Structure 1
Amino acid sequence: MRLTCPLCGPRDRREFYYYGHEDYLQRPGPDAGPEAWDDHLHLRDNIAGEVRDLWYHETGCAQWLVVTRNTVTHEILSTELVADRKKKGVRA
């Protein structure tokens, strides 16, 4: 699989570190019980279709990317810098 870094151009996915689905950043609140934290840390949806993931360009520009991809066709639909999304007021 190849990802197109907005700063470095097309790169092999081995240059990147996969962090997980974008919704992983939506953590339970500080008063959430152990069950909520267990679900957050250990349960993941296995979505068939379009997903948005966080990737870190570890051996390149050291930027975080939001990658929109299709898990059925393996097509990469878009890549964008998390920093650019924050400037626009969009959550990572």
Structure 2
Amino acid sequence: MRIPCPLCGPRDRREFYYYGAEDFAQRPEADAPPEAWDAHLHLRDNPAGRTRDLWYHEQGCAAWLVVERDTVTHEIFGAELVAERGARK
């Protein structure tokens, strides 16, 4: 599987570290109850099909990416920098 890094171009997925679903970046508030942190850290969906996931380009530019892909076919639909996504909000 090749991931299209916006900074480095298409790279082998072994250069990246997978962190899970895109919403993992939305952390609970610091004063949130322990149950909220437990859910954030341990209760994740495992969908089959199209997803948006966080990947860290560990052996490249050290950028955080949101990669849209299909977990069944491994097709990659695109990738964007997390920093740029946050700037558009």
Structure 1 length as normaliser, TM-score? 0.84
Query: Structure 1 residues 74 and 34, CA, compared in 2 at 3 Å: closer, same or farther?
Result: same
Query: Structure 1 residues 34 and 86, CA, compared in 2 at 3 Å: closer, same or farther?
Result: closer
- Per the alignment, residue 51 of structure 2 pairs with 51
User: How big is each residue's C-alpha offset from its partner over 1:29-86, in whole Å with a ceiling of 9 and x where there is no partner?
Assistant: 3343222221211111011111111111111111111100111221111111112212
The amino acid of 1:2's aligned partner reads R
Aligned-residue offset at 1:28: 2.5
- Per the alignment, residue 74 of structure 1 pairs with 74
Tell me which moved more, 25-34 or 52-61.
25-34
Structure 2 length as normaliser, TM-score? 0.86
Over the residues paired in the alignment, what is the CA RMSD in angstroms? 1.4
The amino acid of 2:80's aligned partner reads E
- Per the alignment, residue 8 of structure 1 pairs with 8
What pairs up with 1:35-50 in 2 under 5 angstroms? 35-50=35-50
Unmatched segments (≥5 aa) in structure 1 = none
CA distance in 1, matches of 2:30, 2:81: 28
